[in-house]
Amino acid sequence: MEGNDNNNDRRNFLKAGLLTGGSLLAASALQSVFSSEKDSGEKVKVLTTDGKLVEVDSTHIKKAQPCCVNSKESRVGIPDKKFVMVIDMSRCKDALKCQKSCAKHHALPEDVKWLKVLKMQESEETAPYWMPKPCFHCDHPPCVKVCPVDATYKRSDGIVLIDNERCIGCRFCMAACPYSARSFNWGEPKIPTDANYSPETSVPRKKGTVEKCDFCPDMLRQGKLPHCVSACPNGVYYFGDLNEDTVTNGDETLRFSQLIKDKAGYRELESLGTEPSVYYLPAANRIFPFKDRVENKEEHQH
């Protein structure tokens, strides 16, 4: 009986875009995504939110069209750039200025964090430290491969974005991301009245879509740093261009290759082959003593 149930689930997915945990899509949205054309014989693999691969004939998935001028421009990327971020955990004091700046400029509610700052400790005998965690903007992003409507995509400059005009809320990308970098917008967002939507700003946010850190490409087009980088008071984040081999935290500009070599830089879960664009420097020779967030609560409020 269990096998029959699984087969039924797959048939239901093909017919109606079944989502585990309950469908969030209206019938009109499904009609715009799934085609009624005859099978071509070409199969496309998509991932369900419970981690199962299913095959869908390519003719049953319509290709989404750009929603607007901003959407088309945002897919191109900034010419001749390959953006990279380096996070120096020895500098992180858990000030959370980066997180607050990200929330402010992307109109995020208090309970939504695109940039997480995690307390890390390998064992009881080792010292704890703070680890900021944005989206890693992988060179081989699993999230892009599983999106059935081309809503999440990788640009020539290395940035991975989500077009929430295309997103149907299936959450396949969330299941595929090994870094848990994505979140789902369950509620009605607070939309600034003066905002025109663009995947480069991720504003206004839309209910029923997936969202994440976007590396602030609107700022990069102006020659400015992402909001988290410029907001950090301790120079934790370095951002720059891999093609030029330079990164900066706003106060100092360094050779990316030399920084990684001298301070033993590494990337998360290298064995997966995702090739993240975010590198970490170990929390060695820290410039601040570690204070737990409970003890440091008053400081965060100022």
CA distances from 11 to 27, 50, 54, 75 (A): 17, 16, 10, 33
* Pairing outcome for strands 152-154 and 129-133: unpaired
Distance CA 171, CA 210 (A): 7
Indicate the SS3 state at residue 143: helix
Mean pLDDT of 281-291: 92
Angle CA 17–20–26, to nearest 5: 40
Query: What is the pLDDT at residue 56?
Result: 67
Query: What is the pLDDT at residue 246?
Result: 98
Query: What is the pLDDT at residue 137?
Result: 98
* Whether residue 88 has pLDDT greater than 70: yes
Q: How confident is the model at residue 69 (pLDDT cuts 50, 70, 90)?
A: very low
Query: What is the pLDDT at residue 117?
Result: 98
Domains in the chain, start-ordered, CATH in brackets?
A: 2-60 (no CATH), 74-281 (3.30.70.20)
Residue 206 structure tokens? 């839309």
Give me the numbers of helices (H) and strands (E) for the chain, helices first please: 10, 13
Least confident of 40-44, 132-136, 202-206, 271-275: 40-44
Summarize pLDDT for 97-127 with one digit per residue, the tens: 999 999 999 999 999 999 999 999 999 899 9
Summarize pLDDT for 9-22 with one digit per residue, the tens: 333 333 333 333 33
The overall average pLDDT reported for the chain is: 82
Helix (H) or strand (E) holding 212: none
Q: How confident is the model at residue 32 (pLDDT cuts 50, 70, 90)?
A: very low
Q: Residue 170's closest CA among 36, 17, 12?
A: 17
Query: What is the pLDDT at residue 16?
Result: 37
Residue 186 structure tokens? 């369950």
* Whether residue 217 has pLDDT greater than 70: yes
Distance CA 153, CA 261 (A): 31
Q: How confident is the model at residue 58 (pLDDT cuts 50, 70, 90)?
A: low
Location of structure tokens 């100092």: 252
Q: How confident is the model at residue 27 (pLDDT cuts 50, 70, 90)?
A: very low
Indicate the SS3 state at residue 263: coil
Summarize pLDDT for 163-177 with one digit per residue, the tens: 999 999 999 999 999
What single letter denotes the amino acid at residue 38?
A: K
Q: Are 144 and 177 in contact (CB under 8 A)?
A: no
**Does 62 or 72 have the greater pLDDT score?**
72
